[in-house]
Amino acid sequence: MTYQAPRDGAPVYELNTRIRYSEVDHRGTLTIPALINCFQDCSTFQSAEIGMNIGKLHEERQGWVLTHWQIVIDRYPGLCEHVVVGTFPSSFKGVAATRFFYMRDAQGELIARARSTWAFMDFRKGRLMRPDPELVKAYGTAEPLEMPDEERRVRVPAASTPCEPLTVRLHQIDTNEHVNNGQYVQMALEVLPRELDPASIRVDYRRAAVLDDTIYPMVGQEDGRFVVALNGSDGEPYAMVEFTSAA
């Protein structure tokens, strides 16, 4: 699929970059966690550009919390390849927002694209809140990317197998003092076959894990997809991660 350039004035932020050695696997292709990091970095840079950086929101004890990913991967780019990473919001409704991401090659062909949903939090009061209208205005919105239809929730297969527990380590913690969103996907990959090259990934984020929490992965497989439930000791999930192979 060829990427369609945004209309003039559309609030699309783009980052020209290359695939780094630190971002590839043993085959020399971009890893899934590295792709997610590229997307995450791009939106962080956009926020900084419009004056809504992490430090400013932290001072106000407010911020966006990721609730869902849908990622479609057309191919895995190789080491040193030139790519463009882009992002933009498509809608703000009440406490929620939808943001799209993409990675394209030098010829404009899409490599990967993603839809994400977010909720705005007042961390001081521990509840959702509407973002300030000036914040919403600063971001603006653009037309959504074309994405496959999906079920809203990641569905867990009836038969799932428990795996060895994982302990949250310091390197997995981000500036919110929680496990970084991409790290849940990395944890899920750790309990799956090594040569897994999914064409799509979906993640439901249910609650935040913190340093020294123990996570109990449960793995299920059906209809060409793996689902990893990353549960707490109470059996309730922190996140549900689904990997689907190409049809």
Which one-letter amino acid corresponds to residue 129?
M
Q: Is 235 left (phi over 0), alpha (psi -120 to 50) or beta?
A: left
pLDDT tens digits, residue range 198-245?
999 999 999 999 999 999 999 999 988 999 999 999 999 999 999 998
Backbone torsions φ then ψ of 102, nearest 5 degrees: -155, 160
Look up residue 144 and give its amino acid: P
Looking at beta carbons, which pairs linking 189-195 to residues 24 or more positions away fall under 8 Å? 189/32, 189/33, 190/166, 190/217, 191/163, 191/164, 191/217, 191/219, 191/228, 192/219, 192/226, 192/228, 192/243
Question: Quick one: fold of 13-139?
Answer: Thiol Ester Dehydrase; Chain A (3.10.129)
CATH 3.10.129.10 domain residues, the chain: 13-139, 160-244
Cα–Cα nearest to 35, from 26, 45, 24:
24
Tell me the per-residue pLDDT of 26-70, one tens digit each, with 9 for 90 and over.
999 999 999 999 999 999 999 999 888 777 788 888 999 999 999
C-alpha dihedral sign at 183, 185, 187, 193: negative
26 Cβ partners below 8 Å, 6+ apart? Answer: none
The CATH number, out of the four listed (2.60.120.510, 3.40.50.150, 3.30.390.30, 3.10.129.10), of the domain defined by the range 160-244 = 3.10.129.10
Averaged pLDDT, 133-138: 92
